[in-house]
């Protein structure tokens, strides 16, 4: 049987800091908090700092809250990073609803209302971005500014085929090295150390030494590509257009990005005031360019807090 690999959830932050030359004087002030939903399920989040969170970071499908670790270290601001239903340490979605944006938004509204009601910005990547759009429509009191990370309602399964192929790959892996090799294949520009950390946060080793992903494969929709009404691109575009607050789209410029020129054009047609920022990154901007993304979020927080609208 393969050797056990020890996992310390809060023991790798120094590696994140070292990789990006961030100051590190000791473990950051971060802890897990649980929010109980009305139906008894629990959503788990990482809460950074003890002051009221200024920003909420919502990860993409098949990821978890730790995808934001380097961004959070660089920001050095109080924030909340939830695990979406069926991901990380959160309970599964409510029966029959899957991880569609509308279902996610309903759960996260409870979380944000309890944990970060005064946050000045909600940042959503991929499925987390679509979830954020729905949340902004359903609970505008909780979303004062939207930052969408490499996602628009125009992103289709065809555009995201490489991501879907990765997520829908093997269900189990005989060894950590096998899982790492597959992850490197689909993330050719990322450092091996960052991919190792990501796997340890997003997969678990079984008693027989094999590895499985933490997220529920049977209902994980990477882009919200299911039959629920809020996954309809036209409705999501309408929601985004109707949102009253400022919108920033962060678009990766590498081939792995899923946002194309048509997506940007449609966003600007519907919201001429939207800000579009291009970053040298693929789809997972928070992994490829965390320092640049942290600076974009910092500026968004500052602009929103002072009433500026770019």
Q: Which residues are catalytic, by number?
A: 126, 150, 283
What is the C-alpha separation between 19 and 280, in angstroms, rounded? 17
Contacts of 35 (CB under 8 A, 6+ apart): 42, 43, 44, 45, 110, 111, 114, 115
What is the C-alpha separation between 179 and 122, in angstroms, rounded? 32
DSSP 24: -
- Check the CA dihedral 42-48-49-54 and report its sign: negative
What is the C-alpha separation between 249 and 275, in angstroms, rounded? 6
CA distances from 132 to 115, 147, 166, 247 (A): 16, 9, 24, 11
Q: Tell me the helix, strand and coil percentages in the chain, rounded to 5.
A: 40, 15, 45
N-to-C CA span, the chain: 57
> Helices marked H in 116-190 — which ranges?
127-138, 161-167, 176-186
CA distances from 141 to 135, 212, 260 (A): 10, 38, 31
Burial class from Cβ neighbours inside 10 Å (0-12, 13-18, 19+) for residue 121 reads: buried
Q: Residue 247 is encoded by which pair of tokens?
A: 């919108």
């Amino acid at each position: 049987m393969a050797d056990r690999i020890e996992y310390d959830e809060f023991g790798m932050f120094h590696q994140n800091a070292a990789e990006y030359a961030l100051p590190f004087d000791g473990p950051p002030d971060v802890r897990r908090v649980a929010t109980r939903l009305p139906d008894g399920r629990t959503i788990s989040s990482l809460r950074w700092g003890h002051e009221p969170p200024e920003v909420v970071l919502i990860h993409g499908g098949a990821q978890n809250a730790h995808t934001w670790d380097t961004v959070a270290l660089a920001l050095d601001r109080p924030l909340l990073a939830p695990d979406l239903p069926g991901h990380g340490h959160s309970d599964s979605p409510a029966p029959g609803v899957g991880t569609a944006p509308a279902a996610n938004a309903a759960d996260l509204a409870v979380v944000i209302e309890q944990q970060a009601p005064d946050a000045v910005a909600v940042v959503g990547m991929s499925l987390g971005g679509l979830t954020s759009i729905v949340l902004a429509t359903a609970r505008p009191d909780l979303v004062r500014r939207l930052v969408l990370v490499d996602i628009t309602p125009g992103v289709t399964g065809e555009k995201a085929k490489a991501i879907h192929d990765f997520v829908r790959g093997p269900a189990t892996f005989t060894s950590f090295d096998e899982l790492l090799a597959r992850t490197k294949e689909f993330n050719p520009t990322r450092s091996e150390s960052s991919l190792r950390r990501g796997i340890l946060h997003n997969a678990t080793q079984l008693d027989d030494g094999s590895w499985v992903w933490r997220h529920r494969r049977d209902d994980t929709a990477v882009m919200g590509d299911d039959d629920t009404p809020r996954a309809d691109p036209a409705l999501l575009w309408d929601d985004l257009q109707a949102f009253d607050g400022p919108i920033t789209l962060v678009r990766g410029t590498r081939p792995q990005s899923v946002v194309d020129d048509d997506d940007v054009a449609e966003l600007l047609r519907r919201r001429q005031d939207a800000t579009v920022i291009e970053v040298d990154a693929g789809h997972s901007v928070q992994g490829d360019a965390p320092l640049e993304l942290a600076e974009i979020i910092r500026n968004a927080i500052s602009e929103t807090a002072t009433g500026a609208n770019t």
